Structure formats: structure tokens, C-alpha cells
């Protein structure tokens, strides 16, 4: 196997009181780490500290000694708590200079919003000597890139949208210019209905090459299996593993993301099928209480009725006298489809089994046939809702794909 050089290392550095105190979940760190990995970097650490100058200086020096690249978010705002540029200047003994172009851009930003620019905003145009400004067209804070003793730092705002725009317009391209990277290929196998341990066992038995990074994420209830192939793998080698993994996952596999397809989850998979086949849907939900409907697209979902208690359906479908179960779900699905004249109809009912478990009955029907299922779902109310919705989408998918 072709041995590649060691990948350059990255540290993700988040700063700010909101993150350190837990007022805010740091979604930036995961986003940035993922982007770096897809470029071919090795992410070695995430570090978060508060807006304290001494701490910031200390961490910048530590990071400089440890990593080739540091992606830093937060601390670029106009207030006293925003100390990033100052901390960088102290850590690496450089000056801060007023960047006149940045100042003009900040002024223009305020002019556009018709808000007077406060004096404190001028501070945001102070950047370290020899740094490269990263423009921010979506907020007041420009970012900047600069090299410490040996590590290349990129400083971006903490606002996720502004950070992501800077990544797309400058940082990703600059990283590729500055470093020799072997970009890996990521393929995600999305499955539903096969347990975590079963998937792991199936994958273990395949004895996947060591240089393919295998990772697994147990969703609720969708599961993701990711294979990260080094650039050195040929299309044929990748295809070999895609075929083998697909066989191992069998019917539970609903999409292969990154290998011709682009599918983010089950509702997205169903949307692609409904759109492609120009189908429409009418829907009745109980346990999921609208959670199925909200994940459908308005283009093909014509109507949905929610009855948190199944007994509420009896008024609407008074002809139906059967006990709650799979057969009743199917009966109502047929009737509701006729009422609303949709191509497909889905009905999901449920019945309490015990304090923590409900039985979920799902039925899908069209003019020619139907499919139905009964599954027990345990856990708290929110978990039951989520699983029930996924069961519904999975049944629609199976029904359309098997036609």
C-alpha cells in the first residue's frame, strides 16, 4: 500500500464566554474539524478558553508549538471582551496597525444598515502587522490570517454564518495553496433498521484495509457508516469496498452519499423519490404529532391530519370499527387516499404497550398496492416521536423503491 507523508496537523480553537460557560453549544468546532479532515488535514485538538487576555496569549503560544494550522473562532467583535488581535500581538510580539481598507468596509456596513457607527467598532480594523485581512461581507468583524512562530493561524468570527462564508470565500482555498494535501474521499452509507452492533459486526467481518478510516455514527434511528479513502485509492478499489459494504448492509441501506448520490437523510431520500416520480401524499399521524409532515416538502405533501390520541380518528373515519392495529391503519390509508385524491397515502397509528413502549402501525397505499408494518418503540415521548417519523419515511421509501 502506498504510504503517504504525515498529514499536516490542525487545532480548532474556540474562544468566548458563551462557549466556555456552556451557554452555547460549539457547533463551529465540529464544522471546522470536518472541513479540515475532508481537505486531508489531521485534526489533533480542540481547545476552548474564555475572553481572558492572559489565557488567550498562553493558548496561542501552546498551539503555535503543537500544530501546523490553527482555525480560531470568536473574539473579533467590537467590545472590550474581544481580544483576539491584541492577544496575537502579545503572544508573537508584533504591533497592531489600523487597516484603512477594513475601516472603510466597516463604515460601509453600518451605512448600508443606516445605523451610526460607534467608536468601538474602529477597534475591529486594528490588525497585527504582516497579517492578511479576511473580508467579512456579512458582519462588522474582519478576520485575519497570520503566522506565529511556525503555525499558520486563521481568525474568524464566532457567528456560524459569517465563519462559514469566510471558510468558503478564503480559508479553504488558502489552506490548499499553503499546504500540500492529499484530499481523501468520503463515502457515507446511510441505513435504517439494522442495529449498531450488527452493523459493526458485519463491517468487522469485511476486514477493510487499515488505511481506509472507518467511522460509525449511531443515529436515532438512522445509522451512518463512513469510509474515508486516501487519495491514493483508485475508483476500482473504492468501488470494491462500496459493493462489499452495500452487500453487508443489505436492505437496511437507503443511500450511499458521496458516490454518485447526494442524500442527507431519510426525508431527503423520500423527497428525491417523490419528486422524481411526480407523486403526491396525504398523511395521517398520531404519535409523531406533525413531525412527519414538517419533514415533507410542500411540493408533494397535499394534506396531513394529526390526532395525538388515536380515538380522535373515530369521528373522522366513523365507518372504521376495527381494533387499533396494522389492518386499521391500512383501511384508513385507503379511505384517506380516496378522499384527497393523492397518489400515495400514509397512515400511522399507535397503541400503548406499557409505560415505556408503544406499538406503531404504519401503512402506505397507492392505487395498485400497499405495504404496512408493526414496530415497538420504547423511550421517552420525544424519542418515540422521532423513531415513529423515521419508520414512516422508511416505509414510503421501501414502497416506492420496490415498485
Nearer to its own copies, 12 or 263 (CB): 12
Q: Does 191 bind its own copies (CB under 8 A)?
A: no
- Alpha helices of 114-233 — where are they, by DSSP H? 160-166, 172-178, 196-204
Binding segment (CB under 8 A) for its own copies, from list 130-138, 168-176, 292-300, 356-364: 292-300
Contact between 151 and its own copies per CB under 8 A? no
Taking contact as CB under 8 A, which single stretch among the options 143-151, 167-175, 243-251, 302-310 is the one that binds its own copies?
302-310
365 binds its own copies (CB under 8 A): no
Instruction: Tell me how far, at minimum, the Cβ of 344 lies from its own copies, in Å.
Output: 15
DSSP for 23-60 reads SS--HHHHHHHHHHHHHT-EEEEEEEE-S-HHHHHHHH
Interaction between residue 54 and its own copies (CB under 8 A)? no
Find the part of the chain contacting its own copies (CB under 8 A) among 90-98, 100-108, 306-314, 394-402. 306-314
**Phi/psi class of residue 255: alpha, beta or left (left: φ > 0; alpha: ψ in -120 to 50)?**
beta
Question: Rule CB under 8 A: which of 258-287 touch its own copies?
Answer: 283, 285
CB of 34 to its own copies, least distance (A): 3
Distance CA 28, CA 240 (A): 35
The DSSP annotation for 283-339 comes to EEESTTTTTTGGGS-TTTEEEEEE-SSGGGHHHHTTT--SPSSHHHHHHHHHHHHHH
Q: Which stretch binds its own copies (CB under 8 A): 28-36, 171-179, 238-246, 262-270?
A: 28-36
Contacting range for its own copies; rule: CB under 8 A; set: 40-48, 97-105, 149-157, 268-276: 40-48
At its nearest, how many Å lie between its own copies and the CB of residue 221?
15
CB of 155 to its own copies, least distance (A): 18
Among 141, 225, 256, 296, binds its own copies (CB under 8 A): 296
Among 309, 314, 320, 338, binds its own copies (CB under 8 A): 309
Pairing of strands 9-15, 69-73: parallel
Query: What angle do helix axes 196-204 and 235-249 make, rounded to 10 degrees?
Result: 140
Task: Give me the long-range contacts of 84-90 (CB less than 8 A, separation at least 24).
Answer: 84/15, 84/56, 84/155, 85/126, 85/127, 85/128, 85/144, 85/155, 86/53, 87/53, 87/56, 87/57, 87/60, 88/60, 88/128, 88/131, 88/146, 88/148, 88/153, 88/155, 89/128, 90/53, 90/57
Of positions 17, 174, 209, 326, contacts its own copies by CB under 8 A: 17
E strand or H helix at 276: helix 266-276
167 touches its own copies by CB under 8 A = no
Stretch that binds its own copies, among 170-178, 300-308, 330-338, 394-402 (CB under 8 A): 300-308
Rank residues 120 and 327 by Cβ distance to its own copies and give the closer one. Answer: 120
| Pairing state between β 42-49 and 9-15 | parallel
> If binding is defined by CB under 8 A, does position 107 make contact with its own copies?
no
Q: Does 217 bind its own copies (CB under 8 A)?
A: yes
CB 319 within 8 A of CB 336: no
Q: Which one among 20, 72, 156, 363 touches its own copies, defined by CB under 8 A?
A: 20
18 touches its own copies (CB under 8 A): yes
Is the Cβ of residue 35 or residue 394 nearer to its own copies in the bound state? Answer: 35
Residue 122 lies near its own copies (rule: CB under 8 A): no
CB atoms within 10 A of CB 61: 17
Instruction: State in angstroms the smallest separation of the CB of 97 from its own copies.
Output: 28
Contact 358, 352 (CB under 8 A): yes
Q: Which residue from 196, 195, 225 is spatially nearest to 212, judged by alpha carbons?
A: 225
Using the contact rule CB under 8 A, the part of the chain among 67-75, 239-247, 266-274, 290-298 near its own copies is: 290-298
Q: What's the closest the beta carbon of residue 38 comes to its own copies, in angstroms?
A: 9
Whether omega for the bond prior to residue 221 falls within 30 degrees of 0, making it cis, is yes
Residues between 322 and 351 with contacts to its own copies, criterion CB under 8 A:
none
In this structure, are strands 132-134 and 143-147 parallel, antiparallel, or unpaired?
A: antiparallel
Instruction: Using CB under 8 A, list all residues that contact its own copies.
Output: 12, 14, 17-27, 29-37, 43-50, 55, 215, 217, 226, 283, 285, 288-294, 296-298, 301-309, 312, 385
Amino acid at each position: 500500500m502506498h504510504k503517504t507523508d504525515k498529514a499536516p496537523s490542525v487545532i480548532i480553537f474556540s474562544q468566548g464566554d458563551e462557549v466556555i460557560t456552556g451557554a452555547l453549544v460549539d457547533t463551529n468546532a465540529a464544522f471546522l474539524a470536518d472541513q479540515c479532515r475532508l481537505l486531508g488535514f489531521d485534526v489533533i485538538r480542540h481547545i476552548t478558553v474564555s475572553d481572558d487576555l492572559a489565557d488567550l496569549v498562553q493558548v496561542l503560544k501552546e498551539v503555535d508549538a503543537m500544530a501546523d494550522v490553527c482555525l480560531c473562532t470568536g473574539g473579533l467583535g467590537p467590545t472590550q471582551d474581544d481580544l483576539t488581535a491584541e492577544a496575537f500581538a502579545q503572544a508573537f510580539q508584533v504591533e497592531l496597525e489600523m487597516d484603512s481598507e477594513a475601516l472603510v468596509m466597516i463604515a460601509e456596513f453600518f451605512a448600508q444598515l443606516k445605523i451610526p457607527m460607534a467608536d468601538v467598532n474602529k477597534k475591529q480594523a486594528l490588525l497585527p502587522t504582516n497579517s492578511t485581512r479576511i473580508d467579512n461581507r456579512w458582519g462588522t468583524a474582519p478576520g485575519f490570517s497570520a503566522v506565529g512562530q511556525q503555525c499558520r493561524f486563521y481568525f474568524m468570527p464566532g457567528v456560524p454564518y459569517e465563519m462559514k462564508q469566510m471558510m468558503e470565500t478564503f480559508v479553504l482555498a488558502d489552506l490548499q495553496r499553503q499546504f500540500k494535501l492529499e484530499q481523501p474521499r468520503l463515502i457515507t452509507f446511510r441505513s435504517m433498521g439494522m442495529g449498531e452492533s450488527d452493523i459493526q459486526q458485519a463491517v468487522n467481518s469485511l476486514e477493510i484495509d487499515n488505511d481506509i478510516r472507518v467511522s460509525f455514527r449511531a443515529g436515532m434511528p438512522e445509522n451512518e457508516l463512513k469510509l474515508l479513502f486516501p487519495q491514493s485509492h483508485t475508483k476500482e478499489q473504492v468501488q470494491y469496498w462500496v459493493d462489499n459494504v452495500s452487500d453487508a448492509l443489505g436492505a437496511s441501506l437507503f443511500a450511499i452519499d458521496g458516490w454518485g448520490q447526494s442524500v442527507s437523510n431519510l426525508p431527503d431520500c423520500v423527497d428525491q423519490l417523490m419528486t422524481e416520480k411526480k407523486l403526491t401524499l396525504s398523511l395521517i399521524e398520531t404519535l409523531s404529532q406533525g413531525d412527519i409532515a414538517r419533514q415533507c416538502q410542500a411540493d408533494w405533501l397535499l394534506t396531513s391530519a394529526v390526532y395525538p390520541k388515536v380515538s380522535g380518528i373515530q369521528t373522522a373515519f366513523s365507518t372504521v370499527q376495527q381494533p387499533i392495529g396494522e389492518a386499521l391503519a391500512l383501511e384508513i390509508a385507503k379511505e384517506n387516499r380516496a378522499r384527497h385524491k393523492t397518489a400515495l397515502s400514509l397512515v400511522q397509528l399507535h397503541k400503548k404497550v406499557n409505560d415505556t413502549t408503544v406499538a406503531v402501525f404504519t401503512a402506505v397505499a397507492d392505487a395498485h398496492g400497499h405495504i404496512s408494518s408493526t414496530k415497538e418503540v420504547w423511550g421517552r415521548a420525544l424519542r418515540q416521536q422521532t423513531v415513529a417519523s423515521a419508520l414512516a419515511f422508511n416505509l414510503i421509501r421501501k414502497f416506492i423503491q420496490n415498485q
